[in-house]
Amino acid sequence: MERFEPMVAIDVDTKEAALKLFDQLAGDTNHTPIVKIGMELYYAFGPGIVKQAKQRGLAVFLDLKSYDIPNTVHRAMRVIGKLGVRYTTTHAAGGTEMLKAAKEGLVEGAHEAGLPEPKLLEITELTSIDENILKNEQHVDLPLIDVVKNYAQVAERAGLDGVICSAQEVEAIRTVTKPDFLCVTPGIRPNLSVHDDQKRVVTPAQARKLGSNGIVVGRPITQSDNPVAAYQAIRQAFMEGEE
């Protein structure tokens, strides 16, 4: 099963803090950490922040969660495809036509720039959505897990590479998707007693056992006194299964 380096969520609000983390992570020359750049950093600093990460030899997961009409998403993804990122995201709720347009735009942009095609991951339901919101606001009368499984199948049929989901959902998703479909899981804590605002967390080794292809880890690395040591310990646990 494909398993990739932990993705470090760079959730900081200044360029200096982001660049410091990039420098620290890039100092680990034995591995190529993947940094997750989200809306906050990207909206503030633009494509330049992606370039800064890449210049340091880091791989980039650009998590912008595109969600709009198919034509707009196609055009946006074409731009992302030219940035040389390794992973990016879009929303299940946009429907099959939008998902296909996203993938096409991304591939088109990458080809135009002569770059490898980034992997496109689908956001199924945000973890901030619970059964109550699903039923009473979205008027969906199915259990959340069935909605997530369905969205994973929709993503696969539309040609996407995988989904972002909770580690607890991986097993169920694997029952309805092909073996090479990717499941990337946030909500990771090396020490389960420190879970911040995450409600259901698993350790890196548990995520490995549950079948995650990749993990997204933010604060346990970025707020550590020694982010490189924290990264290496989490990497070891996830990649090698050592607690």
Binding mask 57-96 for ligand C5P (x = CB under 6 A): ----------------------------------------
Q: What are phi and psi of 139, to 5 degrees?
A: 55, 40
DSSP letter for each residue of 140-169: --S-HHHHHHHHHHHHHHTT--EEE--GGG
Q: By C-beta, is 38 or 211 nearer to ligand C5P?
A: 38
| Angstrom distance (rounded) from CA 169 to CA 159 | 20
Least distance to ligand C5P, CB of residue 164, Å: 5
Least distance to ligand C5P, CB of residue 61, Å: 10
| Angstrom distance (rounded) from CA 81 to CA 87 | 10
Q: Which of 186, 100, 172, 111 is nearest to 143 (CA)?
A: 172
DSSP letter for each residue of 62-124: EEEEE-S-HHHHHHHHHHHHTTT-SEEEEEGGGHHHHHHHHHHHHHHHHHHHT-PPPEEEEE-
Binding mask 33-52 for ligand C5P (x = CB under 6 A): -----x--------------
User: Would you please indicate which residues are annotated as catalytic (active-site) residues?
Assistant: 63, 65, 68
Q: How many residues bind ligand C5P (CB under 6 A)?
A: 14
Least distance to ligand C5P, CB of residue 223, Å: 8
Q: By C-beta, is 34 or 164 nearer to ligand C5P?
A: 164
Q: Residue 177 in contact with residue 152, Cβ under 8 Å?
A: yes
Q: Which residues from 183-242 bind ligand C5P, rule CB under 6 A?
A: 186-187, 196, 198, 216-219
Q: Is 146 annotated as a binding residue?
A: no
Identity at 70, one-letter amino acid code = P
Binding residue (CB under 6 A) for ligand C5P from 4, 5, 9, 83: 9
Closest chain position to ligand C5P (CB)? 218
Q: Is 127 annotated as a binding residue?
A: yes
Q: In this structure, what DSSP letter does residue 190 have?
A: S
Sign of CA dihedral 205, 209, 213, 218: negative
127 binds ligand C5P (CB under 6 A): yes
| Angstrom distance (rounded) from CA 99 to CA 29 | 36
Q: Is 189 annotated as a binding residue?
A: yes
Least distance to ligand C5P, CB of residue 11, Å: 5
Q: Is 36 annotated as a binding residue?
A: yes
Q: Which residues from 141-170 bind ligand C5P, rule CB under 6 A?
A: 164
- Which residue is associated with the tokens 């040609």? 159
Residues annotated within the binding site for substrate are 11, 36, 63-72, 127, 189, 198, 218-219
In the complex, the residues that contact ligand C5P under the rule CB under 6 A are 9, 11, 38, 126-127, 164, 186-187, 196, 198, 216-219
